[in-house]
């Protein structure tokens, strides 16, 4: 059975086929030019949805990378300020040692005081350091508030306890700042458990006793109480040497720790309630030494007290003993302040090191995301070029055949 095909059908069928082939060729050309297999969601709905999820995760990972860059900049500022602060504290320790030299006169100490004033001002400058954006490093959350203001007794802190944090990874937040209270006011006095002091009035009584910082001998016996050590001196009489003894009173409870006076021997250990220390030198009648629990003290208060002690020390054996007690106390507190600053700096260093690890992990995750996206939406160039060449040849053949078919007519044979 023969079927008659009209000229209109031939033209319409040929045009539709050419249009379809041209669309396919154009789409392949777009894939080659963009490098993407999936141009629209309709091309592969499942791959498109998955690619959107991966793209969002990749963009979040990119943001974490930016956060880490900002965190590194802020933490580097803090680390630099802490390093300088540590160097200044070491300079102050050197000045304390110089001030304790027996050959030093009051004029010599006055010269050291001038240097100490300079170190004090340098410490204030470090405590009030700001970053490149004008935000104070050690003010906690109060970025625009100057952390420390100088006072006659040291400095007052106007910031808060907050630690600014940044999301450095999908499951990690890092502190990028340090509180001024933690850095400059977080050190304990004395040996960290208790603090020994000489009564300033000992100087006027003619006593030259020097008390040691002491140590803990039994932590289970510690009471956390305040104690008063009072000396009694019975003057010598013909044939009888002077007798010196001491009593210890628990100033918190008012109960004597030593029911009877204990004979005093210079440098001999004095122990009670889990603590131990000694007193060296010649003590005067009614000389007093105190023991109290360690407390947090501002570095600026420590330096200011040291400056006052050196200014008012004077000369003479009793004045030197009083100064030695104050220098020992200041030296212990300065050591604690240095340890505290180094501890905070160690935290910053650990954070900077962790940023390096997070950067490496982030780069690895980024490669994984990029690989997944490539597998989902990118096209294989070899396959695409082969397809493009094939589609191009098919279109050219279709165009030639359409030209020949559309030229057929019975009038050509009349």
**Distance (Å, whole) CA 123 – CA 338:** 12
Single out the residue of 79, 98, 121, 82 nearest to residue 303, CA to CA. 121
DSSP class per residue in 374-402: HHHHB--HHHHHHHHHHHHHHHHHHHHHH
Give CATH superfamily name and number for 63-189+295-392: f41 fragment of flagellin, N-terminal domain (1.20.1330.10)
Single out the residue of 185, 180, 184, 120 nearest to residue 145, CA to CA. 180
Q: What is the pLDDT of residue 172?
A: 86
Q: What is the pLDDT of residue 109?
A: 92
Per DSSP, 187 falls in state P
How many CB atoms are located within 10 Å of the residue 265 CB? 12
Q: What is the pLDDT of residue 45?
A: 77
For the stretch 328-338, what's the b/e string if a residue is b when 16 or more beta carbons lie within 10 angstroms of its beta carbon? bbbbbbbbbbb
Single out the residue of 112, 108, 114, 140 nearest to residue 127, CA to CA. 140
Q: What is the pLDDT of residue 253?
A: 95
| C-alpha distances in Å from residue 407, one per residue of 11, 14, 321, 412 | 10, 12, 124, 9
Residue 360, token pair as written in the block: 């490496």
Q: What is the pLDDT of residue 391?
A: 65
Q: Where exactly are the structural domains of the chain?
A: 63-189+295-392, 194-293
299-311 vs 45-99: helix crossing angle, rounded to 10? 10
Q: What is the pLDDT of residue 382?
A: 62
Q: DSSP 3-state helix, strand, coil percentages of the chain (rounded to 5)?
A: 55, 15, 30
**Distance (Å, whole) CA 196 – CA 248:** 13
Residue whose structure tokens are 């160097």 = 87
pLDDT along the chain (414 residues), means of 10: 60 68 66 64 70 83 90 92 96 94 89 95 95 88 92 93 87 89 94 94 90 95 96 86 92 93 94 95 94 96 95 87 94 95 94 91 85 68 68 69 62 56
């Amino acid at each position: 059975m023969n079927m008659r095909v009209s000229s209109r059908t031939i033209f319409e069928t040929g045009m539709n086929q050419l249009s379809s082939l041209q669309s396919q060729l154009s789409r392949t050309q777009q894939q080659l030019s963009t490098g993407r297999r999936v141009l629209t969601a309709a091309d592969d709905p499942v791959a498109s949805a998955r690619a959107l999820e991966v793209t969002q995760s990749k963009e979040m990972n990119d943001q974490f990378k930016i956060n880490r860059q900002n965190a590194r900049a802020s933490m580097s500022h803090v680390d630099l300020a802490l390093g300088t602060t540590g160097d200044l504290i070491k300079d102050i320790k050197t000045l304390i040692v110089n001030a304790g030299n027996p050959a030093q006169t009051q004029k010599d100490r006055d010269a050291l005081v001038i240097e100490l004033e300079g170190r004090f001002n340098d410490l204030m400058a470090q405590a009030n350091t700001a970053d490149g954006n004008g935000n104070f490093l050690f003010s906690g959350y109060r970025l625009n508030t100057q952390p420390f203001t100088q006072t006659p007794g040291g400095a007052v802190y106007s910031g808060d306890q907050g630690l600014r944090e940044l999301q450095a990874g999908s499951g990690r937040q890092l502190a990028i700042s340090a509180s001024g209270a933690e850095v400059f006011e977080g050190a304990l006095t004395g040996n960290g458990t208790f603090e020994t002091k000489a009564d300033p009035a000992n100087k006027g009584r003619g006593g030259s006793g020097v008390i040691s910082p002491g140590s803990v001998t039994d932590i289970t016996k510690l009471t956390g109480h305040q104690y008063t050590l009072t000396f009694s001196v019975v003057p010598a009489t013909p044939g009888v040497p002077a007798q010196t003894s001491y009593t210890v009173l628990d100033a918190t409870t008012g109960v004597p720790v030593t029911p009877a006076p204990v004979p005093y021997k210079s440098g001999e250990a004095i122990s009670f309630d889990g603590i131990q220390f000694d007193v060296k030198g010649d003590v005067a009648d009614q000389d007093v030494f105190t023991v109290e629990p360690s407390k947090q003290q501002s570095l600026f208060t420590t330096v200011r007290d040291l400056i006052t002690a050196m200014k008012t020390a004077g000369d003479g054996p009793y004045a030197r003993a009083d100064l030695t007690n104050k220098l020992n106390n200041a030296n212990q507190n300065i050591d604690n302040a240095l340890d505290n600053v180094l501890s905070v700096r160690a935290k910053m260093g650990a954070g900077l090191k962790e940023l390096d690890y997070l950067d490496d992990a982030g780069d690895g995750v980024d490669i994984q995301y990029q690989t997944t996206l490539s597998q989902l939406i990118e096209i294989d160039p070899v396959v695409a070029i082969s397809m493009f060449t094939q589609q191009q040849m098919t279109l050219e053949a279709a165009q030639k055949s359409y030209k020949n078919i559309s030229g057929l007519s019975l009038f050509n044979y009349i």
